[in-house]
Amino acid sequence: MQKSKKLSKSKKSVIVFIYGPIAVGKLTVAKILSKKLGYKLSHNHALNDLIDEIFEYGTPASGIMKEALRPQLLEGMARAGINTVVTHTYSHDYVSPTGLADPKYMKILEGKVTKAGAIFCPVHLKAEHEELMRRVGMISRKEFKKLTNKKIMRQHLVKKDWQTSPKLKNNLIIDNTQLSPARVAEIIIRHFKLS
């Protein structure tokens, strides 16, 4: 995989898009990156929780709103020249209530961001199942109504494909089973040459 050109000298905005399974540590890494780089932070729970307060979770109406608003938000940040770290829960075999498959959704987001003139830096975080089970029970997960139920998590681990990555340009894949969030942030910064 080729490394990106030095992004710090580019006038384009940068969208670091961290995606992966539940409890892999997306938000923890995103917070570190946001602080280190001075980028804005937009995590999936901020938008999802807002929509789910109005529309019932899992319904087509909720899915339609999320699928419409997230691309508009990313495109708006790109056009405004705002450097941002974004998170997204990703499952390769997930299909939304509207029929949109997650790999296609990722391509839509990548297209919106790059068409708007920003640099899209996708990062797929992965971890071993045992580590995901350990992390899902962490107390910090309660802050944003995140899944903490280990029984439901076990069901997800059996049913969902969290290992396969979508076909994205310059996609960085990191198994963070044995890595600290700070180390993952360093790898992302070095790979995309962010500063």
Q: What are the tens digits of pLDDT across the range 157-192? A: 999 999 999 999 999 999 999 999 999 999 999 999
* Cα–Cα distance measured from residue 194 to residue 1, given in angstroms and rounded to the nearest whole number: 17
Long-range contacts from 105-113, C-beta under 8 angstroms, 24+ separation: 105/67, 106/19, 106/166, 106/168, 107/166, 107/167, 107/168, 108/71, 109/17, 109/70, 109/71, 109/74, 110/17, 110/168, 110/169, 112/71, 112/74, 112/75, 112/78, 113/15, 113/17, 113/74, 113/75, 113/78
Q: How far is CA 66 from the centre of its chain?
A: 14
Q: Provide the residue count of the chain.
A: 195
User: pLDDT tens-digit profile of 26-53?
Assistant: 999 999 999 999 999 998 888 888 898 8
**CA dist list (Å): 75 to 79, 85, 104:** 6, 13, 17
Q: What is the pLDDT of residue 148?
A: 83
For residue 6, pLDDT beyond 50: no
User: Which residues sit opposite 46 in a β-bridge?
Assistant: none
* Residue 55 vs residue 185, higher pLDDT: 185
Cβ atoms within 10 Å, residue 158: 8
For residue 2, pLDDT beyond 60: no
Q: What is the pLDDT of residue 5?
A: 46
- Please give the domain boundaries of the chain with CATH numbers for all domains: 14-192 (3.40.50.300)
